[in-house]
Amino acid sequence: MTLTRRQKWRIEKVQSEKISRANNASIKAESSIEKGTEELHGLVITRYGQRQLIESNHGDLFQATGRQNIGLSVAGDRVLFQKVEGDEGVVTAIYPRKTELKRQDRLIAANIDQLWLVVAIEPHYQFELIDRYLIMAENSNLPINIIVNKIELSNNDNQLSNDFSHYIDLGYDVHFLSVKNKINLEKLKKSLVNRSHIFLGQSGVGKSSLINSLIPDLDLRVNEISTKSKLGKHTTTNTTIYHIPSGGDLIDSPGIREFQLDDLTEKQIVNGFREFKSLIGKCRFRNCQHINEPNCAIKKAIESGNINSSRYESYLNILP
Ligand SMILES: Nc1nc2c(ncn2[C@@H]2O[C@H](COP(=O)(O)OP(=O)(O)OP(=O)(O)O)[C@@H](O)[C@H]2O)c(=O)[nH]1
Ligand SMILES: [Mg+2]
Ligand SMILES: [Zn+2]
């Protein structure tokens, strides 16, 4: 979906207002740093606009702006910061990131070990959307697993396992869950220990509900999906880290809106389909797009059943 000029103008206006507010705040904060203040180590818990919530090594929370020359830090960043006064601070350095998760070239979170794509029976999973997330993961070199939530709403279990069997064949882990009826939660819990995980996916699939069920007493805001459209209401608005008491971190993220889907290049798309990899370079034409060309290795693999036709359909739909 492309934005109308009016929508773009609105977004830009809101952005620039946010930026100028934050810049003023950051100049004020910088000028009041006491000389010789010690630098503290911290973890960015979330970012809102130009400000970030930082947790110090001692577990204290600070509201911080960033030094203007270091760029913005995001949830998961390890930083150095200085206390200004009370619970105010200024981030002075961002540690090099182990991993980066980006959307539309915007950094979403840092230092993540594992992505989890959450889909559900309602709103009903769509293969093209699933494949888009997998493409994003393959291109960020981050491992991704799939969670299918709300399985108690399914009235055809065979169909359900068929729908996901080709993802399992491709090497993606698929967990079938019901947060509501506590089905398969314990097994999932075991795979989350001591690493940093982010939950991604459409609004209303139950990302925040899942995190609530994995971390007792958290009580994140959740919202019923619309009875009519079966779509979520974009309840979570910030990408935020929560600690598992026994070790490990879970990051909740807002369900993306349609216009935030990545604009992918042809190269990224091809690279995003694992099962294409061994076939690249084996088509008759070097610049084969795998659409109508004769002697195409990918099309042959589809005919022989080695590539799933729903995946190929996604490929055709996602191509620019
Ligand atoms: N039937 C059923 N409903 C569930 C289940 N898990 C979560 N829900 C409900 O789904 C709705 C949406 O859940 P949320 O946790 O707010 O979804 P979300 O993915 O965080 O959505 P956004 O924050 O908008 O991106 C809530 O009404 C939950 O109670 C489940 O296993 N079964
Ligand atoms: Mg949420
Ligand atoms: Zn080809």
Whole-number Å distance between alpha carbons of 95 and 79: 6
Cα end-to-end span (Å), the chain: 12
Find out whether the beta carbon of 195 lies less than 6 Å from any atom of ligand 1: no
Hey, which of 115-119, 229-233, 258-262 has the most confident mean pLDDT? 115-119
What is residue 6's predicted lDDT score, i.e. its pLDDT? Answer: 62
Residue 117 near residue 133, CB atoms below 8 Å = yes
What is residue 12's predicted lDDT score, i.e. its pLDDT? Answer: 52
Residue 240 scores a pLDDT above 50? yes
Find out whether the beta carbon of 205 lies less than 6 Å from any atom of ligand 1: yes
Whole-number Å distance between alpha carbons of 31 and 42: 21
What is residue 69's predicted lDDT score, i.e. its pLDDT? Answer: 80
Structure tokens at 155: 């009235």
Structure tokens at 28: 């004020």
Residue 56 near residue 39, CB atoms below 8 Å = no
- Quick: pLDDT tens for 32-91: 554 556 789 999 999 988 899 999 999 999 999 988 788 889 999 999 999 998 899 999
Q: In this predicted model, which residue has the larger pLDDT, 41 or 25? A: 41
- Compute the average pLDDT of residues 11-26: 52
For residue 115, what are the CA distances in angstroms to 68, 73, 277? 30, 19, 21
Q: Which residue from 150, 153, 140, 157 is spatially nearest to 118, judged by alpha carbons?
A: 150
Find out whether the beta carbon of 222 lies less than 6 Å from any atom of ligand 1: yes
Question: Of all protein residues, whose CA lies closest to atom 27 belonging to ligand 1?
Answer: 224
Host H or E run for residue 138? helix 127-140
Candidate CATH numbers 3.40.50.2300, 3.40.50.1220, 1.10.390.10, 2.40.50.140; the one for domain 5-94? 2.40.50.140
Q: How confident is the model at residue 9 (pLDDT cuts 50, 70, 90)?
A: low
Q: How far is the CA of 212 from the centre of ligand 2 (A)?
A: 10
Reply yes or no on domain 100-260 having CATH 3.40.50.20: no
Q: In this predicted model, which residue has the larger pLDDT, 141 or 2? A: 141
What is residue 105's predicted lDDT score, i.e. its pLDDT? Answer: 81
Q: Which long-range contacts (CB under 8 A, 24 or more apart) does 308-311 make?
A: 308/166, 308/275, 310/127, 310/166, 311/127, 311/131, 311/166, 311/273, 311/275
- Compute the average pLDDT of residues 3-15: 55
What is residue 26's predicted lDDT score, i.e. its pLDDT? Answer: 52
Q: How far is the CA of 141 from the centre of ligand 1 (A)?
A: 28
> Which amino acid, one-letter code, is at 230?
K
Angle at 256 between CA 254 and CA 261, to 5 degrees: 150
Question: In the beta sheet, which residues pair with residue 243?
Answer: 249
- Compute the average pLDDT of residues 246-253: 95
- Quick: pLDDT tens for 146-174: 999 999 999 999 999 999 999 999 999 99
DSSP E strands in the chain: the ranges are 39-48, 51-56, 61-66, 78-83, 88-94, 100-103, 106-110, 114-120, 144-149, 174-176, 196-200, 240-243, 249-252
- Quick: pLDDT tens for 255-303: 987 656 778 899 999 999 999 999 999 999 999 999 999 999 999 999 9
What is residue 164's predicted lDDT score, i.e. its pLDDT? Answer: 98
Q: Counting ligands in written order, which one lies closest to the CA of residue 270?
A: 3
Indicate the top mutation candidate among 177, 205, 209 to test ligand 1's pocket, ranked by most ligand atoms within 8 A of CB.
209
5-94 and 100-260 have identical folds:
no
**3-state DSSP call for residue 62?**
strand
> Which amino acid, one-letter code, is at 161?
S
Average pLDDT, the chain: 89
| Domain locations in the chain as residue ranges | 5-94, 100-260, 266-318
What is residue 184's predicted lDDT score, i.e. its pLDDT? Answer: 97
Give the ligand 1 atom nearest the CA of 178.
31
What is residue 18's predicted lDDT score, i.e. its pLDDT? Answer: 47
Whole-number Å distance between alpha carbons of 274 and 160: 22
- Compute the average pLDDT of residues 122-137: 95
Residue 21 scores a pLDDT above 70? no
Candidate CATH numbers 3.30.70.600, 1.10.1740.10, 3.30.310.80, 1.10.40.50; the one for domain 266-318? 1.10.40.50
Q: In this predicted model, which residue has the larger pLDDT, 12 or 65? A: 65
Q: Which residue from 1, 308, 320, 277 is spatially nearest to 130, judged by alpha carbons?
A: 308
